[in-house]
Structure 1
Amino acid sequence: MARFDDFELLSGLVGAAPVRRTRMAGGDLSLVERVELQDGRSVILKHGPQVQREAAMLRAIAQSGAPAPEVLGVAGDLLVMEALASDGSLGSAWGALGAAVRLLHDVPGDAYGWESDHAFGPVPIENGWSETWPEFWAERRLRVFLAHVPADLGRRIERLCNSLGVRLPERPKASLLHGDLWTGNVLVAGGQVTGLIDPACYFGHSEVDLAMLCLFGSPSPAFYSAYGPLEPGYRERQAVYSLWPALVHLRLFGGGYRPMVERFLSDCGV
């Protein structure tokens, strides 16, 4: 994996020379380091092909009023961000997360999609604009996997896509989504959310983020109390929205995620 050797570039972006760097945990799809600077500050570096797009997404999150690291500079494949406090546990911060996600989802879009495509490592995320939500979810999130899954799963996905017109609202509010909202992408310190990180933003149905947050766990009641009322039929749509991140995991990490994909397809009745 590449390393951050061009510290001259970093010095130009932040106005101080680096003195120490430490690789951070995680980073399955990109290299992330914490760098201490000569002037006493610390910054976070991220290196990868998507950093220009990620910088724009972080700025969009911050403009919503939700917490996000400040983008200090971006050049080529190097993103420099503010280093935020984090103690690693949501604990008593679920209510703060609910309030933050509500701020995000209150930002409206004119259609479903984003100004550019994105990617999770080798898995492309297609964000072309769509006028109706079932069309976006079928074409940009589910059918794109048909060439990458076994034929039996593909047939079930296709059946689901053909029924989305009656399963999903045609034109729900197009909300600003984080796009990869799981607990590992939420920084917390002192019972407060300090930042939402590693976004894959686009405009879509708010329930997508909520389904992602439930993929590997369950938010506490404090989250929902702060977030506000859910739309009727939320639970019935949850499996439809959970299927996409399950398919991403299947493609990224292999057959160990097939049971998760099958479970969500079965929950959808296909």
Structure 2
Amino acid sequence: MKDRLEAALGVGVTSLASMPVGFGLAGFKADLADGRKVAVKARQGTARADLRLEAYMLGELARHSTLPVPAVHLSEPDLLVMDFIETDGGGITPQVERHAAELIAALHAVPRPFFGYARDTLIGPLPQPNPQMDRWIPFFRDHRLLAMARTAEAEGRLPAKLLMRLERLAGRLDTYLTEPRHPSLLHGDVWTGNVLVRRQRIAGFVDPAIYCGHPEIELAFTTMFGTFGPAFFEAYEALLPLEPGFHELRSALYKLYPTLVHVQLFGSAYLPPIERTLAGVGL
């Protein structure tokens, strides 16, 4: 790896240390002879992800928003080199949450022309289809909820009876969900592991899963593992108020999508939250 990096970057590598990245990829922190520090992802074994797509998503966030993301220095199908973002091991405190709210609200505030994106993207290692559409609810229904559920059922991860219940929910989404004021660019995978903190501030957001959608699905995702809480929502809603009913119902419905992602990746331990959400709406 050291020789390949030196040849690709045209600069010496003075140290190379492993770091965890997941999904069958190898991760490294590299110190370069010119003083820079870079983060490296490399495909290994049976991993099939094209790392150029992650580079594309980071580049789109850098071009179209002020969200702090690492700059990409090299992208090849099996190799990605980007800025190493320094952190100090600090947790996500209320002060950090308020800073995150400012950044994410600014991302969501800019109107985009359509739902979906100019190309398909990924969430983790899984395909994320992004046909361009004028309405949010059909996009979410067909290309997030049902697309992930049907793939999970076809691969034996989701019981057929649970898929049938999700399909019944899909037919009623207009009853529960709302169309946003406009499509918004989303990071798409905001959870604790993708939020980097330094000195009580957000240092960066990594591992995006971008597309244009309803901000509420992004906000719901932030509650899935307790990443953000009341301080975040108070600061966010001071900038972009939410319609009534988000916390009471719509957040749980939107979390079905990332929960199905986890069913696909990690198995049946993530089925009970789906059962509870469906039972909560009488399905």
TM-score scaled by length of structure 1? 0.90
Structure 1 206/50 Cα, relative in aligned 2: closer, same or farther at 3 Å?
A: farther
Q: Which residue of the partner structure matches residue 14 of structure 1?
A: 9
Structure 1 47/120 Cα, relative in aligned 2: closer, same or farther at 3 Å?
A: farther
Matched position secondary structure for 1:87:
coil
Superposed displacement of residue 115, structure 1:
1.8
- Of 18, 22, 31, which aligns to 1:27? 22
Is 1:251 aligned to residue 260 of structure 2? no
Instruction: State whether residues 176 and 203 of structure 1, in contact with CA within 8 Å, keep that contact through their aligned partners in structure 2.
Output: yes
- Of 152, 155, 164, which aligns to 1:155? 164
**What does the per-residue CA deviation read over 1:5-28, in whole Å, with 9 as the maximum and x for residues that have no partner?**
3743x3355331223222213423
Q: Which residue of the partner structure matches residue 243 of structure 2?
A: 231
Q: Which amino acid aligns with 1:151?
A: A
Q: Which residue of the partner structure matches residue 32 of structure 2?
A: 37
Runs of at least 5 residues in structure 2 that lack an aligned partner in the other structure: 44-48
Instruction: State whether residues 13 and 74 of structure 1, in contact with CA within 8 Å, keep that contact through their aligned partners in structure 2.
Output: no
Instruction: State whether residues 72 and 82 of structure 1, in contact with CA within 8 Å, keep that contact through their aligned partners in structure 2.
Output: yes
Aligned length: 265
Moved more, 65-74 or 12-21: 12-21
Q: Which residue of the partner structure matches residue 196 of structure 2?
A: 187
**What does the per-residue CA deviation read over 1:62-112, in whole Å, with 9 as the maximum and x for residues that have no partner?**
331111111122233221111111123112311111111112112321111
Q: Which amino acid aligns with 1:156?
A: R
Give the share of equivalent positions with the same residue, in percent: 38
Q: Which amino acid aligns with 2:188?
A: G
Q: For 1:114 and 1:185, how far apart are their aligned partners in 2?
A: 21
**What does the per-residue CA deviation read over 1:208-266, in whole Å, with 9 as the maximum and x for residues that have no partner?**
11100000116233312332322222122111110001111011111111112212222
Q: Which residue of the partner structure matches residue 80 of structure 2?
A: 79
Instruction: State whether residues 187 and 195 of structure 1, in contact with CA within 8 Å, keep that contact through their aligned partners in structure 2.
Output: yes
- Of 239, 263, 273, which aligns to 1:260? 273
Instruction: State whether residues 98 and 231 of structure 2, in contact with CA within 8 Å, keep that contact through their aligned partners in structure 1.
Output: yes
Matched position secondary structure for 1:39:
coil
Q: How does 1:91-240 map to 2 (within 5 A)?
A: 91=93, 92-120=95-123, 123-144=126-147, 145-147=149-151, 148=153, 149-170=158-179, 172-217=181-226, 219-228=228-237, 229-235=241-247, 236-240=249-253
TM-score scaled by length of structure 2? 0.86
Instruction: State whether residues 239 and 268 of structure 1, in contact with CA within 8 Å, keep that contact through their aligned partners in structure 2.
Output: no
Q: For 1:192 and 1:185, how far apart are their aligned partners in 2?
A: 14
Q: For 1:218 and 1:97, how far apart are their aligned partners in 2?
A: 11
